[in-house]
Amino acid sequence: MLCGGGLLILSMVIGVGIGAVPVPAGTVFGIAVNKMVPGLIEADWSQGREAIVWDIRFPRVILAALVGAGLAVVGAALQSVTRNPLADPHLLGISSGGAFGAILALLHTGLFLGLLTAPLMAFAGSLIATLLVLAVTRFAAATSADRLVLSGVAVSFIVMALANVLIFLGDPRATHTVVFWMLGGLGLAQWSHLLFPLGVLSLCGAWLWVKSGDLNAMTIGDESASTLGIPVVRFRLTVFVAGALITGVMVAFSGIIGFVGLMIPHIVRFAAGGNYARVIPASMLAGAIFLIWADILARTVMAPEDMPIGIVTGLIGGVFFVWLLRRKG
């Protein structure tokens, strides 16, 4: 964790420094310190460079860390309560539901609650998609882990089809902004937006970490968890709601970014074992580092254009998914 914390800080400095206008690490550090403690360091950089670093790149890198941490911890929790190593907020339709809610707010209802509109609508969409997955699972008597994933994929297709209907019926002049949510991106990050994902991740992440013992018990089966006094059905539903809240808020500010919740918990378990007291914080840390570097790759591979980060994570995650299927086979 100490090494990971150091790597996270190093990744953030590199992420802020890399771009169309490269900024040395010393300048990045100086600007950050000068903003937090004005006058402590003599400013030997231009106002333009300071604006690029502080107003554009720092919020983007911090948002990447928050989104990566959030998606990774949701994936780890879902893999426990579903006892399915392939569980992921993207595969289970939760991300699609969040995108549906955000698109509905942007193209049809308007921001009637201000900045809170998109996150709240995205959370509502994620929660509805989660309940739909559970309903389809119950309706189809799909009790196995594999069938649960198939139910999630089916709901994801349905929800994305409905989202496409919303785009088709929306104002053609505004639909180009929806591409952000469809492909994923961090280019709209602002300091004022970071409070929402930070608050939700802090509260829900802390709750999941406190419940790490229950998550450990859920991995060995419902009967064993029940004998330990865990209300299995209620706990599973609560974890789904917490995951929908985290995913919905992250999707509202970053769009659909897939496979982070699938990959990172498996990588973490290779290094930290299966105890969720370690898996939860390590997944958050590793997810943050991974998405920062995915964003760096998205910004540099087609510079000066920004490639949607969902493409990068999709390519990496697809290969990892195939490898995981092969390994489980």
What is the tens place of the pLDDT at every residue in 244-258?
889 888 888 888 888
Average model confidence (pLDDT) across the chain: 86
Q: What is the pTM of this model?
A: 0.89
User: What is the pLDDT at residue 199?
Assistant: 94
User: What is the pLDDT at residue 210?
Assistant: 96
pLDDT tens string 218-234: 998 888 888 988 998 88
Q: What is the largest CA-CA distance in the chain?
A: 67
Burial grade of 325 (CB within 10 A; 0-12, 13-18, 19 or more): exposed
pLDDT tens string 21-77: 788 888 888 888 888 888 777 777 888 888 888 888 999 999 999 999 999 999 999
User: What is the pLDDT at residue 328?
Assistant: 55
In whole angstroms, give the CA distance from residue 190 to residue 58: 9
In whole angstroms, give the CA distance from residue 231 to residue 158: 31
pLDDT tens string 96-142: 888 898 888 888 887 787 777 878 888 888 889 888 888 887 787 76
The CATH architecture assigned to 62-328 reads: Orthogonal Bundle (1.10)
